[in-house]
Amino acid sequence: MANILLVEDDEALNRGISFKLKKEGYNVFKVAYLMEARKIIHSENIDLVLLDVNLPDGNGFEFCNEIRNINNNILVIFLTVCDQEVDIVTGYDIGADDYITKPFSLMVLMLKVKAVLRRKVKVRSKKIIFSGDIVFHDEELKVFKSDKELFLSKTEFKLLKCLICNYNQIVTKDQILNELWDIDGNFINENTLAVNIRRLREKIEDDPSKPKYIKNIRGIGYTWGQGCKLND
């Protein structure tokens, strides 16, 4: 069952949500402070964070950014009284999977928790991604373009995976650099990233000077420019 981190400083609400989640069979880590939440994010395999915005020792939006830099696969649902349009837009812009304003029904919350976790399981269960004339085999570590296998370096493959698996999002340079950090501790810097982006474009783009797959978002990072279909 999924591991859920609940970050909520309202003691009664924290207790009520935690009780309901445990009753549904989830493993719950409940805290009231971001300091505690950071320790758990780094020490436990968290699937979903239920996150308030206004907390005693910090801001939930900032913590969501930290989570995205640590592990882009962790789901985040905001639970907050911040119901202005600008707040909701901010939440989704920084990578929230859902945004729930208080007061809310525990039944509705449980339905949303189940829905986002189902999406995560569905993505995990897929082995092949189709995008344009690119076919990406994650487990087999193979990539094909127009039925011809492309031979990528380890770094190029990890870079492609980072982009194609987040095809509906802008991936910042910091997020990419974290993904490309070598398991042996070899650091990948921005210059090396730019070189690998160029090499990868030369292999997957029809015209690297006019890329349709790897789009540059000036000053921020990159995004995968084509829609993707996951195999059943």
Average of per-residue pLDDT across 113-128: 70
| Dihedral pair phi/psi, residue 192, rounded to 5° | -65, -40
Greatest Cα pair distance in the chain: 59
pLDDT of 69 higher than 90: no
- pLDDT at position 147, please? 87
Whether the Cβ atoms of residue 50 and residue 99 lie closer than 8 Å to each other: no
Give the whole-number percent of the chain exceeding pLDDT 70. Answer: 91
Whether the pLDDT of residue 187 is over 80: the answer is no
What value does the mean pLDDT take over residues 103-127? 78
Sign of the Cα pseudo-torsion (5, 161, 61, 36, in order): positive
C-alpha pair distances (Å), 7 with each of 112, 207, 223: 17, 47, 30
Cis peptide bond upstream of 103, omega within 30: yes
Q: What is the pLDDT of residue 185?
A: 41
Looking at residue 228, what is its pLDDT? Answer: 81
Lowest mean pLDDT, pick from 11-20, 79-88, 103-112, 166-175: 166-175
Mean pLDDT for 204-221 is 92
Judge contact between 38 and 55, C-beta under 8 A: no
| pLDDT tens-digit readout, 2-21 | 899 999 999 999 999 999 99
pLDDT at residue 193, as a whole number: 84
Given a contact cutoff of 8 angstroms between Cβ atoms, the answer to whether 232 and 129 are in contact is no
Q: Tell me the pLDDT band of 28, cut-offs 50, 70 and 90.
A: very high
Question: What's the whole-number average pLDDT of the chain?
Answer: 86
For residues 73 and 109, which has the higher predicted lDDT (pLDDT)? 109
Q: What angle in degrees, to the nearest 10, is found between the helix axes of 60-70 and 85-93?
A: 10
Q: How is the chain split among helix, strand and coil, in percent rounded to 5?
A: 40, 25, 35
Buried-exposed string 29-61: b where 16+ CB fall within 10 A, e elsewhere: bbbbebeebbebbeeeebbbbbbbbebeebebb
* Higher pLDDT among residues 38 and 94, named by residue: 38
DSSP state of 139: T
